[in-house]
Amino acid sequence: MKILFFGDIIGRPGREAIKEILPQWKKKYQPDLVLANGENLAHGLGVSERTLKEVLEAGVDLITSGNHIFDKTEAIPLLEDKEISLLRPANYPPMVPGRGCQIIEIGIKKILVINLNGRLFFKESLDCPFREADRILEEYEDEKTAAIIVDFHAEATSEKVVMGHYLDGRVSAVLGTHTHIPTADDKILPAGTAYISDIGMVGPAYSVIGIDKDVIIKEFLTQIRQKKGEIAQGPVEINAVLLETDNQGRAKKIERLREIIDLAN
């Protein structure tokens, strides 16, 4: 089975890039399932009905998220609608709207997608992602899943690496999101789990993690906090990983995909 997973999609530039590249990559790589992190869909913070609809109609099958998912209250009814393929991190408190995992059926095969958020360097006091992973895997242990994909939305590389080793052999892939910078540590761990610390973003190439670079430069120079709502313009970098799994749900291959496109042309 082939699974294509895009990193954090940043605002309009990211959405337009997905619409541009996905038909090409579907033809080239022929994935069975397309996933993406969408917590930054709506002008870089949160999701809206319109922005979510754009990427789902472009061909993404399911959207994961992270700590910014509740930045717009419009996300709450979207998360509560079980017909909409949108996840929030599973280790938010139980009373929080939405769900943190979902089974997707591809023909006769079932793929379990799990969304978790790290705890290091976040202002949110979330439940333990390691224990939540254990709980979900126990809940679905009787399901005959063809693959189990974990989006671990975390800041600290150490926390991501630990999660990879913790789940090695128990899931097909642990894929890091959140920092927007692609890492070069893609590998298959000893027990058969694909791992990468961060897929990277789908957003403006000449920016500071998607934001206009001049705004962030000014903040560093003056040490005065600036308004950070301006998404950068220009060419867009597209970062994703392509996974291949065997019949037992073990990873056979993880490949980093990266392309820069100019949407103005």
Residue 230 has what pLDDT? 86
Q: Is 68 among the residues known to form the active site?
A: yes
Any binding-site annotation on 8? Answer: yes
Which of 15, 68, 119, 160 is labelled catalytic?
68
Any binding-site annotation on 67? Answer: yes
pLDDT digit of tens for each residue in the chain (265 aa)?
A: 999 999 999 999 999 999 999 999 999 999 999 999 999 999 999 999 999 999 999 999 999 999 999 999 999 999 999 999 999 999 999 999 999 999 999 999 999 999 999 999 999 999 999 999 999 999 999 999 999 999 999 999 999 999 999 999 999 999 999 999 999 999 999 999 999 999 999 999 999 999 999 999 999 999 998 876 689 999 999 999 999 999 999 999 999 999 999 987 6
In Å, how far are 37, 85, 117, 200 from 64, measured between CA atoms? 5, 8, 11, 14
Any binding-site annotation on 39? Answer: yes
Residue 174 has what pLDDT? 99
Any binding-site annotation on 165? Answer: no
Domains of the chain, residue spans: 2-202+234-261
| CATH tag, 2-202+234-261 | 3.60.21.10
